[in-house]
A and B are shown apart, each in its own frame.
Chain A
Amino acid sequence: MRALDLDYMLGLVPVILGYVPLTLFMAVVAMACALVLASLLAVERVVRVPGLDWLVVLFISFFRGTPLLVQLFLFYYGLPQVIGFLTQINGVTAAIMGLTLHFSAYMAEAIRAAITGVDRSQWEAAQSIGMTQGQMMRRIVLPQAARIAAPTLVNYFIDMIKGTSLAFTLGVTEMMGATQKEASGSFLYFEAFLVVAILYWIIVETLNQGQKQLETHLNKAYAR
């Protein structure tokens, strides 16, 4: 066993930190898109639009039923072969698309369950004052479902941040890709991957703290 090269590790920290913005950019954009898509899918699952329901069920089943890495390869390497205008697709875009679709399928289920968890009386009160379906969803049901789903959704966001590391397989130099390059230059694989692991860990722990504050905020209305 050899000693860890601590100087190398310390020197590597700022290098990898430089790629944190790209990692977070991909995660935040994919999360925002996935939230919107998942909400639409979830609302559809609850109200069951005839002719659309089976498509949504199929979508959710496929993106939950296949590995994220396979989906990313399908988008980046596969789709451009069959769809012409996608030849220009770059790794970052493909990664964001893949993460969005993959996680929206999971999040749709979480949001659907949360919508179902909103008390029936809340729906009826909204209907009784003459709200349209859309108004009822946007103003009453989804905000309350958000509170129920929030802890689960934050967990998916954390999974998503870790999932961005797969973008390096599409040639994107994000945290993982940068580490890979550094390590293959220095041959200090253990040190390099330990540094990147710790950086991911710190980001995730920071988010866990944020989650507690978010929950306090969302529960404000419900505190006695």
Chain B
Amino acid sequence: MIRVRGLTKRFDGTAVLDGIDLDIADGERVVVIGPSGTGKSTLLRCLNFLDRPNAGTIEIGDVSVDAAKATKRDILALRRATSFVFQNYALFANKTAKENIMEALVTVHDRPRDEAERRALEVLGETGLAEKADSYPAALSGGQQQRVGIGRAMAIGADLMLFDEPTSALDPEWVGEVLDLMRRVAEQRQTMLIVTHEMQFAREIADRVVFMEGGRIVEEGPPQEVLEAPRDERLRRFLRRVS
């Protein structure tokens, strides 16, 4: 169970997140949509403390953090309970595909190397990249890099997986394979919070769609309501623009 209350982030005095409340049930898949510059990335980054929120509380599983007085230990615990898939993949450039997946297991979660290696190979199998285990990121296509990025996030079995526009930086030819992999992750009842502009994908995969604008959640609900019968005028305008 994930519970976020009053999450607030200001950059130079401007509230980019303006008191976000959000609950996510175990195994729930939530898709966040909204115009650019509206705070979607900041929301995900604050949940992972890549950006430090100014106020609010975050509870993920048995980790509970009050942003205003978060200690180093709180922040590490929160990060270890979440995993992040970046728009630009951000694979470790000095590590092979396999090592990218092993890294968190060995260094952060203290698993023995051979166990971590088995897990990495298993995950690479699921991402369809078993034969790329020993390739470095620079030798992989964008789509392959992002699949490793998702594999890296899958491997640790986090309570919450965060996806920040995972297909936006990809050439169109690679988008399909990345979305397919995300569908497979979703089938495993993994709790996911996904920022995306892929509306068809959102319709298919989401248990709930959240529309953000100006640092607030303006409307939320099941995809057939939010996407097919939007109430808020700003949401209607946004949907006309993206479809």
- Is the pair A132, B76 in contact by a Cβ cutoff of 8 Å? yes
Query: Is residue A221 contacting chain B, with contact meaning CB distance below 8 A?
Result: yes
Which residues from B are CB-within-8-Å of A119? 93
With a cutoff of 8 Å between Cβ atoms, the chain B residues found around residue A143 in the complex are: 94
- Say yes or no: B107 contacts A128, CB within 8 Å: no
Tell me whether A139 is interfacial, beta carbon within 8 Å. Answer: yes
Given A122-B92, A124-B86, verify A130-B76 contact (CB < 8 Å).
yes
- A-B pair count, CB < 8 Å, reads 71
One digit per residue, 1 when the CB lies within 8 angstroms of any chain A CB and 0 when it does not, for chain B 89-115 equals 011111110000001100110000000
Binary CB contact string for chain A from 138 to 168 against chain B (1 if under 8 A, 0 otherwise):
0110011001000000000000000000000
Q: Are A221 and B156 in contact (CB under 8 A)?
A: no
* Option from B48, B82, B88, B104 in Cβ contact (under 8 Å) with A121: B88
State in angstroms the CA–CA spacing of A144 and B86 once bound together: 20
Chain B, interface residues (CB within 8 Å), range: 20 to 34
* Size of interface on A: residues with Cβ below 8 Å to B: 23
Q: A121, B86: Cβ atoms under 8 Å?
A: yes
Interface residue B136 (Cβ < 8 Å from any Cβ of A): yes
CB distance from A194 to the nearest CB of B (A): 45
Q: Is A127 an interface residue (CB 8 A)?
A: yes
Verify if A224 is at the interface (C-beta below 8 Å from B): yes
- Residues in A neighbouring B84, C-beta threshold 8 A: 125, 128-129
Contact status of A121 and B108, CB under 8 A, knowing A129-B83, A139-B103, A222-B136: no
Contact A222 B104 (CB under 8 A): no
Are B104 and A129 within 8 A (Cβ)? yes
B50 touches A (CB below 8 Å): yes
Which residues does chain B contribute within 8 Å of A79, judged by CB atoms? Answer: none
Q: Contact: A224 with B139, CB < 8 Å? A: yes
Q: Are A223 and B138 in contact (CB under 8 A)?
A: yes
Interface residues of chain B, those whose CB is within 8 Å of chain A, are 48-50, 76-77, 79-80, 82-84, 86, 88, 90-96, 103-104, 107-108, 136, 138-139, 152, 156
Q: List 20 A-B contacts (CB under 8 A).
A: A119-B93, A122-B93, A125-B86, A128-B82, A128-B83, A129-B79, A129-B84, A129-B103, A130-B77, A130-B108, A131-B104, A135-B108, A221-B93, A221-B94, A221-B95, A221-B138, A222-B93, A223-B139, A224-B138, A224-B139
Spell out A's residues near B (CB within 8 Å): 119, 121-122, 124-132, 135, 139-140, 143-144, 147, 220-224
